Amino acid sequence: MTSHPSLPRRLATALMEHAAWVFPSTRDHWAKAMQHELPEIERDREALAWAGGCLYASYVERGRAVAVFLTGEVLMPVQRWKQIRSMALLASAVLVPAFLWGGRRVFVTPGAQQVFQEDASFAAALAALLLFLAAAVVGVPAVLFALNDRTFHRAARAGSVCAGILIPYMTALVTVALLTPRTIVSIGDSYCWDSWCMGIQRVSAAPQGENVLYTAEVRIFSDHSKASRVPTERARSFFDVHDDRGRIFPLLQSASFVGADVILNRGESVKSSLIFLAPANARELYLLGHDGGPPWVYLAIGSDLAPFHRRTLLRIL
């Protein structure tokens, strides 16, 4: 008949096994050396304390191994990092003035019933989607699996391949965003995000005390060559009204706004209205889209939602 080990003894055994797993592979025999002392310790509490100490030692050794790896793989090529830093400084020196210059330039549409497209093309959105999928499905799991296997060299290689693709892409994304002037869509013109478009046709104002109740009549339509779904429901929550001082005025619920998404053929449109209240002293008012969609929308070169990209404004006043 065999007696079951006590709880502290079982815990000590489990801790020792974990400690042996944590130990760097180059020190496997030391992990075994510590583990093989455990059966010689008669008192369970002492065995538990022993295992706790071994666990501590295993993490210390693992930390040292990681530190040695980092010193060798990351910190040693200082010259390369210095070059990268110099290039980053040079790029910043060019991009900051470019950003300031781009901020001064504003593209105002003529207001002659024209339709303007977001700068991001279908190809840019597809590239961003593929990049996002590659990072999510291949890059990150490869690094995580390598880390789990404690093969840090492989993890570093996978990480550097990912960085080698992502860094130039993100640089291009930010550069395009910084250099693109803001678009202001005049009343009468329309603007297309992805495949759906909206234009302000007319704005009426009704004073209400110190405020003014604005009603913007809008036309929503599809830019697709075939019949397609237009997210009119999303359009309502997509916008906020901003004034020239940066104040934000939410849209009021509008009974006349299209309540659900609609399927529209090319050339078809739905008319609706956006209603909001703003102070009478607001001189300029704009509609601004404030949220996007899937993550790759934020990563598409030329997208309105890309980092540092100046958002397109639809002029109301």
Candidate segments 34-42, 68-76, 117-125, 160-168, binder of another protein by CB under 8 A: 34-42
Q: Which residues pair with 221 in a beta bridge?
A: 197, 269
In the shown chain, the binding pattern of residues 210 to 239 toward another protein, with x for contact by CB under 8 A and - for none, equals: ------------------------------
- Backbone φ and ψ for 143, nearest 5 degrees, come out as -65, -45
Candidate segments 26-34, 138-146, 198-206, 230-238, binder of another protein by CB under 8 A: 26-34
Listing DSSP states for 171-227 in one string gives HHHHHHHHHSPEEEEPTT-EEEETTEEEEEEEEEEEEETTEEEEEEEEEEEE--SS-
Question: Quick one: 39 or 295, whose CB is closer to another protein?
Answer: 39
Question: Quick one: 11 or 252, whose CB is closer to another protein?
Answer: 11
Question: Quick one: 34 or 299, whose CB is closer to another protein?
Answer: 34
Minimum distance of another protein from residue 78's CB (angstroms): 22
Helix (H, G, I), strand (E, B) or coil at 269: strand
Binders in 102-141 for another protein, by CB under 8 A: none
Question: Quick one: 18 or 27, whose CB is closer to another protein?
Answer: 27
Helix (H, G, I), strand (E, B) or coil at 220: strand
Question: Quick one: 54 or 264, whose CB is closer to another protein?
Answer: 54
| Structure token pair of residue 275 | 């209603």
Candidate segments 27-35, 239-247, 263-271, 288-296, binder of another protein by CB under 8 A: 27-35
In the shown chain, the binding pattern of residues 35 to 74 toward another protein, with x for contact by CB under 8 A and - for none, equals: xxx-xxx-------xxxxxxxxx--xx-------------
User: Is 32 an interacting residue with respect to another protein (CB under 8 A)?
Assistant: yes
Which residues does 238 contact at the CB level (< 8 Å), separation at least 6? 289, 290, 291
- Backbone φ and ψ for 79, nearest 5 degrees, come out as -60, -40
Q: Indicate the residue type of 287.
A: L
| Structure token pair of residue 271 | 């008319």
CA dist 76 and 146 (Å) reads 22
Question: Quick one: 32 or 266, whose CB is closer to another protein?
Answer: 32
What angle in degrees, to the nearest 10, is found between the helix axes of 44-70 and 7-22?
10
Which residues of the chain form contacts with another protein (CB under 8 A)?
27, 29-30, 32-37, 39-41, 49-57, 60-61
